[in-house]
Amino acid sequence: MNLGNVHWPGEPVLGVCGFSGAGKTTLLIHAVSELVERGLRVAVVKHDAHGITSVDPEHKDSARLFAAGADVVLQGPGEGLQRRHGDGDLAAAVDALLADHDLVLVEGHKDTSIAKVWLVDADGREPGPEVEGVVEVLPRNDRRADRFMAFLEGWLTRQWSSRPILGGVLMGGGSRRMGSPKQLVARGGRTLIEIAVAALADVADEVVLLGAGEIPGDLEMLKRLPDIAATAGPMAGMLAAMRWHPRATWIFAACDMPLLRPAAVRWLVEQRRPGTWAVLPRVDDAGIEPLLAVYEPQSRTLLEGLVATGRRAPRHIKEHPAVTTPAIPEGLRELWANANTPEDLERLSPQDS
């Protein structure tokens, strides 16, 4: 199996390939039905060498508008279909679908370098050595659908888990109630920003500082990103990070959590699941904590939507069905405590990990 040149490594993109008549569409219909029933958002890219006139016949008004040169969107109750001019670029289509789907299945494209499952046809034809990226070969028998689902469950979990995890520490805010920049306030021999960086670094592949402000000298080597101008508050730093690295899982933390420890970050990461776009932990029945929280790449779509409608608080995505709000275990709950005033700092004494 040659996986060296596969496109979208580590992404939930999987081809279902085989010769004509191998049963690709039948298998996909079965799989998509099961996956959607489980709450996953699935997209299928299907190649048709003969064009799509069977979907949008030439005599229809929409097809006539398309022939005149327009890109056309057909809309109906609870559905829509977009027909665009261009070269049918697979990469552009898949990249767009990854933004708001948990899994992208590609029917056909056996000559494209993507991870793929090969379906053996009635003649027993298996993939030739020129077919790259084959990760599973399924014989033609009554157990094929079950074998595919079993493979897909493990494969999707591995793809989800293989994303880079980045930590983002938000430094924004005037710190008026604190009386001095929060990130430089020291507790237990460390500044608050150093506490946040250390907690995230225990899990994250890289920690990035978000926003403007003075920082301790030992953090100067960390990557820093300026806030975006389109909004304010924590969203300005969060979206700056997600636009900079859109395919990473981000753990965002504020620099005002004096009790923050790696145990909180490790618990958050354990809550990640395929199909969950964000993990916003819950302190009690009313309190959702958007910082410290996990944001998968798909959650950027939700956050950008908030900004577009003038809402600046990331907690508003909690109502989306792909966002989970698990209760923080009692033994970890205090690690989410915020310090906004000198009095808060006095009340919150640091603890060892």
Three-state secondary structure readout of 154-182: HHHHHHHHCCCEEEEEECCCCCCCCCCCH
**pLDDT of 246:** 94
Which of 134, 136, 163, 161 lies closest to 151, judged by CA? 136
The CATH architecture that domain 165-347 belongs to is Alpha-Beta Complex (3.90)
Locate the domains of the chain by residue range: 13-161, 165-347
- pLDDT of res. 352: 45
Dihedral sign computed on CA atoms, order 11, 86, 43, 278: positive
What average pLDDT does range 276-293 have in this prediction?
A: 90
Number of helices (H) and strands (E) in the chain: give both, helices first: 9, 16
Is the pLDDT at 251 greater than 80? The verdict is yes
Lay out the sheet containing 323-324: strands in order across. 223-225, 206-210, 165-170, 249-254, 293-295, 278-279, 323-324
The Cα–Cα gap between 154 and 143 comes to 17
Q: What is the pLDDT of residues 301-329, one digit of tens each?
A: 999 999 999 888 999 999 999 999 999 99
pLDDT the model gives residue 5: 47
Strand boundaries in the chain, DSSP class E: 13-17, 42-46, 72-76, 79-83, 103-107, 116-119, 134-138, 165-170, 186-187, 190-191, 206-210, 223-225, 249-254, 278-279, 293-295, 323-324
Percent of the chain at pLDDT exceeding 70: 90
| Percent of all residues in the chain with a pLDDT value above 90, rounded to a whole number | 54
Q: What is the pLDDT of residues 41-63, one digit of tens each?
A: 999 988 665 566 666 677 787 77
What pLDDT digit, counting tens, does each position of 65-80 carry?
777 667 777 777 877 7
User: pLDDT tens digits, residue range 194-250?
Assistant: 999 999 999 999 999 999 888 888 999 999 999 998 788 899 999 999 999 999 999
Instruction: Evaluate whether 273 touches 320 at the Cβ level (below 8 Å).
Output: no
What does the longest C-alpha to C-alpha distance in the chain come to? 77
Taking the C-alpha atoms of residue 313 and residue 233, their distance in angstroms, rounded to an integer, is 8
Q: Has residue 91 got a pLDDT over 60?
A: yes
- Listing DSSP states for 302-345 in one string gives HHHHHHHTT---GGGGGGSTTEE-PBPPTTTGGGG----SHHHH
* Cα angle value 88/74/41 (rounded, 5°): 70
To the question of domain 13-161 being in CATH 3.40.50.300, the answer is yes
Model pLDDT, residue 68? 64
Residue 130 has pLDDT above 90, yes or no: no
Give the Cα separation of 225 and 246 in Å (integer). Answer: 14
**Mean pLDDT confidence for 6-18:** 85
